[in-house]
Chains A and B, each alone.
Chain A
């Protein structure tokens, strides 16, 4: 697969967007890597340059393609020699606001994040930092580019700083939801307004995917085991194995390789913190632009939004480390449809046409194919603790019907 070429969607995006968190943006630019036009231009060149990989085939943009919402729309990412890793490529869009990067937060900043894939053997496969720098130093356009951006010859740190500066220009707000919140009561459809009410009510979505005006990102930036990999993972033996391996080394590169290339990937956040409560826990992803960043979850295991909704509705997949907030929700088919429609309203203007197409596509699939649907569990009619634990009453919360009037019908702020 050839590396994508930069097009209009790859251009740095304006900060002048409805719903753009200006203050948060200012806070989120690190003082030691301020934005500059030269850095962003250099970062963009590098982002699309397959020469950053060992065999000149894989650029950052392969897995973070601007036309695909800065993802690859594959379940898990493909690197050099057509090797697949264990994790779904997260989007670059709005990633500058993540408190930690990667699905397990193993890198604190975009700069630290960018260091890893270049050197990971099954991503871009470069042997070490020196080789990367030596390779770039021989390319005249980069000699010039680094000189302009940093006043020096290429270094590995400057390389990742330029990449991060470019990524910090890829922010996508300006969605129907943002316009609704800015006061346009007609920006959402009636169905989407119902979805927003369920989002904040019976669906309990906002307990992790929270929105507020200063942090309008739909994520709590925490790590939760929601039972995605519970059916396949052997958490306890894997955790022991990981501790034994990490005790011998434990550097960030080792964690990176375990996360991308081994079955221990399913341990998630545990590889970083070594705390049992982080076993199988992954970062809460923001919910913007979901219909251009499919498939879903850390392993890309769910093809449609309806599948993810079904997963939550039945209370996840039971495992000893399941987060305490994951419980059956008792959502009806119509309520799930409302939520799916609401999520479309979180799409940035420039991606909307593409997203609407995918929404219709997923809607069509969801009428016939629902691998995660378990209505009995969702309605609390089936126990989740093994045979003999079922009863007529689950512990699902009060239904949305308890609400007299949909607050969303009153409009935004």
Chain B
């Protein structure tokens, strides 16, 4: 093939050959330079593992790096998977989103070894109806690993969480897992916009479900829950790593779409008193990551559809994913995994269906983007 049409393999082998040729006669300094360059080349091509079938090796490798210095602190490394934002209709109405969440369940069940638990990131239902929520619960029931549930606004605003809580329990809770303190928040409360407008529950739900419907209020964690959070965190030492799950990003990305939590600063003020904090959120349906002070944020992929990036406010550390193929319902969607490392940082794998998975190492975020930059997308984003 002519130079313009080199295949991926050709380019890969050419790069490799170039390095190997140079290796044959070089001194130590050049060798070190070269090996760094090779690493860079591999990273740039998105060849950084882990992905589904290589996880064991790679997760261990990432852990081993830090084992010597931090292993004594008593926190063991662990891995958990996520599925998020399935937006289910009842199966008689729509099979498309059901097909997608079933695919995610298959994915997670194929992981070997199995993750410690699976986080469901909210928005199980599209319009919060009992039938939708029950459909979701039935499908998630096929997961082999235990499931931790989080609520999203699409689950909540028909009956203000009544059915969801009946099925899954309280929306706010915390637990300790292998030395890490895990908190699940209900971050999608909204101030009452419906009573004055005399809305029915269905109208209220429809309003919130419209991403850019300006009638609704902004998401908030709220005074009461922030108080609960303070009390909950008072029980754990400042050096205990925190893992916070929230449906909306606990920062302010883009207000018109509710990619936003109104009292984000107050929540961050509580969290930042702890040394290592990772916040994992749903809602935004895209590869999204951010670092604010000592808090690292990761957005989860949706199984249902990818949102475009907002016109402003995108965190500068975020490496954008490509525009999705409109003919491929799975493109731009996916599930993923997190590895809580022994040094109390959390790495992420974005398992984009029909694309190569992308690994985002915590080092990239905490270094302010200086190291471990994830591969840039091949094509322009939105």
Contacts and interface: CB of A to CB of B under 8 A. Distances in A.
A389 B6 contact: no
B354 A324 contact: yes
Nearest to A239: B53
A272 B53 contact: no
Interface string B20-55: 000000000000000000000000000000011110
A209 to B, nearest CB: 12
A388 interface: yes
B148 interface: no
A31 B3 contact: yes
A308 interface: no
B95 A276 contact: no
Interface string A75-111: 0000000000000000000000001100001101100
Given A100-B7, A108-B9, A276-B51, A28 B327 contact: no
A391 B135 CA distance: 14
Interface residues of B, number: 41
A277 B355 contact: yes
B328 to A, nearest CB: 4
Given A320-B110, A324-B353, A384-B99, A391 B93 contact: yes
A207 B106 CA distance: 26
A99 B1 contact: yes
B325 interface: yes
B4 A27 contact: yes
Q: How large is the interface on A (under 10, 10 to 19, 20 to 34, 35 or more residues)?
A: 35 or more
Contact of B2 (A28, A106, A391): A28
Contacts of A327: 96, 329
A373 interface: no
Contacts of A100: 7, 9
B53 A395 contact: no
Contacts of A236: 110
A108 B94 contact: no
Nearest to A208: B327
A100 B98 CA distance: 35
Interface in B322-374: 325, 327-331, 333, 351-357
A207 B92 contact: no
B227 interface: no
A3 B274 CA distance: 76
A240 B53 contact: yes
B198 interface: no
Interface in A358-394: 380, 383-385, 388-394
Nearest to B333: A324
Interface string A26-54: 11111100000000000000000000000
A389 B91 contact: yes
B7 A105 contact: yes
A91 to B, nearest CB: 18
Contacts of A389: 91, 95, 98
B41 to A, nearest CB: 17
Given A27-B4, A27-B5, A99-B1, 12 more contacts: A100-B7, A105-B9, A240-B112, A272-B9, A274-B53, A275-B356, A276-B51, A276-B357, A277-B352, A324-B333, A327-B329, A385-B99
Closest 3 CB pairs of A and B: A324-B330, A391-B92, A207-B327
25 contacts: A26-B2, A27-B5, A29-B2, A31-B2, A99-B5, A100-B7, A108-B6, A108-B9, A109-B10, A236-B110, A239-B53, A243-B53, A243-B54, A274-B54, A275-B51, A276-B107, A276-B351, A320-B110, A323-B330, A324-B353, A324-B354, A325-B328, A388-B91, A393-B93, A394-B95
